[in-house]
Structure 1
Amino acid sequence: MLVVRPLATGGLAAHVDHEVALLREIGVGVHESAVQIPARPHPAKDLRTVRTLRREIVSLGPRAVHAHGLRAGALAALAARPGSAVGPRPVVTLHNRTLGSRSVRMIGTLLLRIIARRADTVLCVSPDLLEDARSAGARDARHAVIPAPGTGTRTGTGPRTDPDTSPVPADPLHPTAPDAPAGADATARRDTPGLDVLVLARLAEQKGLDTLLDAAAWLRDSTTPIRIRIAGDGPLREQLSTRIRAEELPVDLLGHRADVPALLAAADLVVSSARWEGQPVGLQEALRAGRAIVATDAGGTRWVTGEAAQLVPVGDPGSLAAAILRHADPQVRRRAEEASRDRADQLPTEADLMQQLLDVLALGASRR
């Protein structure tokens, strides 16, 4: 099969890497296209991209072409079936909504119509994208399976441990005393006033971090000590840092971190303030870690959290602050943590992703 991806980072890139690794593990021949597809349209470059993709298709003879994202999907669909139903099976996964000016949205609508007309299957990471694809006339539009990496089977297939009492790594946010048992500080802290809030997010507009800082300003003078820590990096780092310093907000920017499981173990509450999400892997990780969650009701977030998280409106800092403050109560957190562990048992796994890929790409007979 041929994989076509845009020039993107974050969740989209991670999901494509995940897909490629899983398929190669079972012996599917996967070739990644050499085309470079930027976020903005360019007629001459886009035409060259379609021609390059057609040459790759003729040369490789793939059974299927799987493109990720709106622009990559439309260009790949044009290349895979240039005006006919002959050619490899085109499948497109839609990862993001088209936001911006009226002209940008009009281009997005046109690209979606191309995909709906030419792709055999359109996979959508959120309910709103699924509705858009069906409205555009997609013959086969489905919910995309986006599991967190390393989830080969359901969490409920084995014994479940209680994160409140099981050992955890040394607390990366509040170091444990040298003679204290591992996890003692994190366990004790959940029974005392105060709240350590963890946010896993790229520092970009989509993540609604301006709303988070507005909420932090509401919480700054609370009688309950609250500290918000954001793990992630991105283009808004300097802007956010400047505002945090100027307003003396109870927020720390941790930068990129490779120890997310330890951060989750040390946190009391995980928060997402996103303006839009597909199926956020960070919230899946929080559910599997048994953490309480507050999140904006954005895109596919509800698909991930079910009833486990307290969801608040997008762009409403007052509601976000109130929901965070509510979780300063240890009993509220314990109920939320149990709900998270129950929901984790229902999350999709790598096996579910593999089955969907083999199905929609018709690769069952192509392993070698």
Structure 2
Amino acid sequence: MSVILVRPRASGGLAAHVDQELKELTAAGVDIREAPVQIQERPHLLADLRTVRTLRRAMRTAPDPVAVHAHGLRAGALAALAMPRHGAALLAVTLHNRTIGSRATRRIGAALLRVIARRADTVLAVSPDLAEAARRAGADDVRHAVIPAPQRDEPIDRAEPADPADRADRAEERAAGERRRSRSAGARRRPGAADAPLDVLDILVVARLAPQKGLHDLLDAAAGLKAHAPIPVRLRIAGDGPLHDELSARIRAEHLPVQLLGRRQDVPALLEAADLVVSAARWEGQPVWLQEALRAGRAIIATDAGGTRWVTGEAAHLVPVGDPGALAAAIRAYRDPQLRSHAESASRRRARELPGASDLVAQLTEILLPDGSSW
């Protein structure tokens, strides 16, 4: 038995998930190999034809029986076109993202999904809307994809940055963590020049600075918190992306209590320093960082986007997508330390229910070995 893994051109959480699958199935003794292809982000006739031919050759030369697992819409459709019309090869496709863009782009996406639905044995979807779209396209076997947060084996990067301003930011994060722990323990703090006021709410967002993440909605909420019955908040956004300059300019122009931290490798330390985590996403799959927030026992406010509810269950306070007023109202409510304490307990309970690497291996074993044979 051999498995051919078809990887899309991707970074971030999708790439990390594919890496995790490769690592865990290899550790389980699976003969798994990556297809020697590079899936283009956009359709390209000649490149796509070469990809289909390469995938067919990989299937012919791999030890029988062969199972193919493709990630993403284009990778899945090209793998489906490469599948032999007759034979024992099996195809599973994981859908990770919703098709957005122009009407023409959405039509192409719908056509690719129909190809997958006709030829894939199993479609795994990271969110309810993707699962429903696959069923509407005609897929017979559609399942909830198991997307566990990879365990962080590497130590948290606590090296002091060279830039003095960055060093000051790290020192403030450590101080915020101490303040949060003191508040959680009910301890009285001695006031000092470096301390923030007792009622400052430290909020963390981890997001790529891209339209999908709803960051302008988040800034609208921050502006509402500042303008109407203002409450003291400190909102930090960890991540980089194409909207950086646009967001930064708005934060400066409106004097918003928001700080762009850039790309960070110390998310656990940031979570430890936060009173509250917030996601304003317009769409999500199964956000790994919210799984980390649950495991850290943080109170969570999030938009009810994509597969977010699949991750948080009843632990998070979910608000409608694209509603900055609801987001601001929820943040106001979570100034109450008792409410945050209840939410933190709910997060820790939900964290114990989250899937792990063994659940991922179990799901893929069931799908790729439907006859119960061994690897």
Matched, 1:208 2:214: yes
Assess if the C-alpha contact under 8 Å between 2:282 and 2:305 holds in 1: yes
2:82 to 56, 79, 83: 79
- AA of the residue aligned to 1:125: V
RMSD: 2.1
User: Distance between the aligned counterparts of 1:107 and 1:267, measured in 2?
Assistant: 42
Shift of 1:366: 5.3
Paired residue for 2:292? 285
Paired residue for 2:22? 20
Instruction: Specify every segment of 5 or more residues in structure 1 that has no aligned partner in the other structure, as ranges.
Output: 153-170, 178-182
1:334 to 334, 337, 341: 341
Paired residue for 2:180? 186
User: Distance between the aligned counterparts of 1:199 and 1:30, measured in 2?
Assistant: 36
Partner secondary structure for residue 175 of structure 1 = helix
Paired residue for 1:126? 127
Shift of 1:251: 0.8
4+ runs deviating over 3 angstroms: 171-177, 189-192, 363-367
Assess if the C-alpha contact under 8 Å between 2:178 and 2:273 holds in 1: no
Partner secondary structure for residue 307 of structure 1 = coil
Matched, 1:219 2:225: yes
Partner secondary structure for residue 236 of structure 2 = strand
User: Distance between the aligned counterparts of 2:178 and 2:256, measured in 1?
Assistant: 28
Assess if the C-alpha contact under 8 Å between 1:196 and 1:226 holds in 2: yes
User: Distance between the aligned counterparts of 2:344 and 2:240, measured in 1?
Assistant: 27
Shift of 1:220: 2.3
Partner secondary structure for residue 254 of structure 1 = strand
Structure with greater contact order relative to length (CA < 8 Å, sep ≥ 6)? 1
Paired residue for 1:56? 58
User: Distance between the aligned counterparts of 2:221 and 2:76, measured in 1?
Assistant: 37
Instruction: Specify every segment of 5 or more residues in structure 2 that has no aligned partner in the other structure, as ranges.
Output: 154-169, 187-197
User: Distance between the aligned counterparts of 2:309 and 2:172, measured in 1?
Assistant: 29
Paired residue for 2:48? 46
Shift of 1:9: 1.1
Question: TM-score when scaled to structure 1?
Answer: 0.88
Paired residue for 1:135? 136
Matched, 1:343 2:342: no
- AA of the residue aligned to 1:79: A
Partner secondary structure for residue 328 of structure 1 = coil
Partner secondary structure for residue 30 of structure 1 = strand
Question: For each residue in 1:333-354, what CA deviation from the matched residue of structure 2 results, as whole angstroms up to 9, or x when unmatched?
Answer: 1111111111112111111111
Paired residue for 1:313? 320
Paired residue for 1:233? 240
Matched, 1:264 2:271: yes
Tell me the matched-pair count. Answer: 343
Q: How does 1:345-360 map to 2 (within 5 A)?
A: 345-360=352-367
User: Distance between the aligned counterparts of 1:265 and 1:108, measured in 2?
Assistant: 40
- AA of the residue aligned to 1:323: A
Percent identity between matched residues is 64
Paired residue for 2:159? none
Question: TM-score when scaled to structure 2?
Answer: 0.87
Shift of 1:265: 0.9
Partner secondary structure for residue 220 of structure 1 = helix
User: Distance between the aligned counterparts of 2:293 and 2:308, measured in 1?
Assistant: 13
User: Distance between the aligned counterparts of 1:119 and 1:209, measured in 2?
Assistant: 36
CA 1:270/1:176 → structure 2, altered by over 3 Å: closer, same or farther?
closer
Shift of 1:175: 3.3
Shift of 1:151: 9.1
Deviates more, 1:214-223 or 1:86-95: 214-223
Matched, 1:101 2:107: no
Shift of 1:189: 4.5
- AA of the residue aligned to 1:102: R
Deviates more, 1:312-321 or 1:39-48: 39-48
Shift of 1:327: 0.7
User: Distance between the aligned counterparts of 2:5 and 2:306, measured in 1?
Assistant: 25
Question: For each residue in 1:49-73, what CA deviation from the matched residue of structure 2 results, as whole angstroms up to 9, or x when unmatched?
Answer: 1111112222224621110000100
Shift of 1:224: 2.3
CA 1:175/1:261 → structure 2, altered by over 3 Å: closer, same or farther?
closer
Assess if the C-alpha contact under 8 Å between 1:80 and 1:87 holds in 2: no
Question: For each residue in 1:107-135, what CA deviation from the matched residue of structure 2 results, as whole angstroms up to 9, or x when unmatched?
Answer: 11111111011111100001111111111
